[in-house]
Chains A and B, each alone.
Chain A
Amino acid sequence: MAGTPWDLQLLNLCASLLLLLSFAMLAQRRIVTLVNLLAMQGGLLFVATVLLAWRTGERHLYVSAFLTLALKVVFLPWLLHRLIRRLQVYWDTEPLLNIPGTMLIGLLVVVFAFGLAQPIAALANTATRNAIGIAVAVVLLSFLTMITRRKAMSQVVGFLSMENGLFFGAMSATYGMPMIVEFGVALDVLVAVLVLGIFFFQIREQFDSLDLHHLESLREGGPMSDREH
């Protein structure tokens, strides 16, 4: 990419690494590593946001960059690691689909994502418009991660990674949302993880496991226990 300024090249590098990390998450079964990958994703987002803030001179981007650093690189991974230790869940069971198969679907998802992002990218006038496709791909890949996993913890990592993708999308399409909205979203993510923490202990207390196949009795037409008061 001759003629592209170095900071933009770095930004594009960050975007590609984000996509790579999403694929790594798709293939990873060790939950501790999954959380580390999530933290790395957060780190990349932080670098990308700072670069973009420096490039555009938009001061509110610095604020959201440091919000990302505090929340997504430090606090959430720390909390998740703590939960993993307390709950002793280290490995996810065999995913619903084998890993090569998931990767292949992932490739198709990326093609679809770029197709979806095409009209948006064509209209964007930000320097980072090429990254919009990547952001959509990250969102869809995280979705795929959530679908194919059985452990509650991996699903949550998928959920948070989806939020990262959305954040990156907002950044590359419009240089971030208004400050008040970003604070609100960050607050919601924080509360969501805290609520989930409590929730995990409840599931654990009840089933002695965080495997979601225990949570399948409420299907329509399935056997229903008589719920006595």
Chain B
Amino acid sequence: MFGLAPDTILIKGPRIIDPGRGVDEVGDILIRDGVILASGTISPDDIPEDCRVVEAGGLVASPGFIDIHCHLREPGYEYKETIAAGTRAAARGGFTSICCMPNTDPPIDNSAMVEFIRQRARDEGIVRVFPIGCVTKGRKGKELSEMEELAVAGVVAFSDDGDPVEDPNLMRLALTYSSDLGLPVTNHCQDLSLSRNGVMAEGRVATRLGLPGIPSAVEEAMMARDIALAELTGGRIHLAHLSTAGSVPLVRQARERGIPVTAEVCPHHLTITDEWVLGGQATGTGTGESFAYDTLTKVYPPLRGQQDVNALVQGLAEGVIDCIATDHAPHELISKLVTYQDAPSGISALETALGSALQLVHGGHMSLITLVERMTVGPARVLGASFDHLSTLAPGTTADIVIFDPDLEWVVDPNEFQSMGKNTPLQGATLKGQVVATMVQGRFVYQDGAVV
């Protein structure tokens, strides 16, 4: 798939962060044939003379990031993103493994579709791609998909993505039926009868702008239902993109009661609020260069308030929330040049995820090793034991590695994105922390600002 690395590579002198082994130390990483030979303090005697040396002093090296929730749009929406472009974006963002949602056209609800995605990824992808299969046929919420066939074909989870499984009985059956397959069911928790025509978080900003609001209870009500169903069935539920303060204690309580629940949160829900819909100008929405109703801020679940952000950051720091997932949702820009109500939801997030997430470290909310854990070991834990070897730097494991500079400041310019989706509210924002190189199976796929 990625070819064998032709030589031996020494990543020299980085701060090695390997959360799975509790490692945070300066050292070297030696790689041969796509496998990590050694990491940490390596005796010069053990380093072959002909090895290629990559100077990484002052940088951080960690297992490559794993994104368990992104949208690659292929097939059906190749004008928004392709597997080729999406995996390049992932490489630029430091991700070595990504899981793509099945809301394609046709949806990923049978083994032929799974094979199509995997074949495309082998032919054109530059990082590992793991498809997520539908919970129900055609994502219609009526009948279960052939989950075992999907599992055998290689899906790593089940989800109907943006169309939550509304029927509680069907969700119960999905969790029960899938319980012997060892794969989680991921639900996008949104009670549609309560969210109605809402397009942003309910609250002061929505009311001021006259935009239909989505109350927090939309997420919490369905999440509580799913947790109860997980308890009832023993099936594994994974809760996608938490966005409300009230969701965090729901997950915490479920964990304390031993219910098999995992949860993720997106970089944007950890860092920006619904105030951004005002155009960054809370007093006067039509002055200057800044305009309200920036459709680039439209995303489901919606951006919420500062107290929600604070609770999610704390939940992530404490490990109640297992991991960061990007929910990378690329769109062609023209589709966003409409009214807020007409605009599609979603943020192109693979390439800004690290810079956004590092704000939590720079802001003193968590240590760097904790953040890296939430982007490597955390998502691997959600997916199961087969991902253990992709989330560690232990000798003998696959050399999927990211090297990044946590302190490098850069201005987000979507024109530099590898993703076809240039839709980000962070356009023009300064982020601190950028990927320097990404290695998949011992081979650099991104290095020195360019896809290799």
Same assembly: no
Q: Point out residues on A near B: beta carbons under 8 Å.
A: none
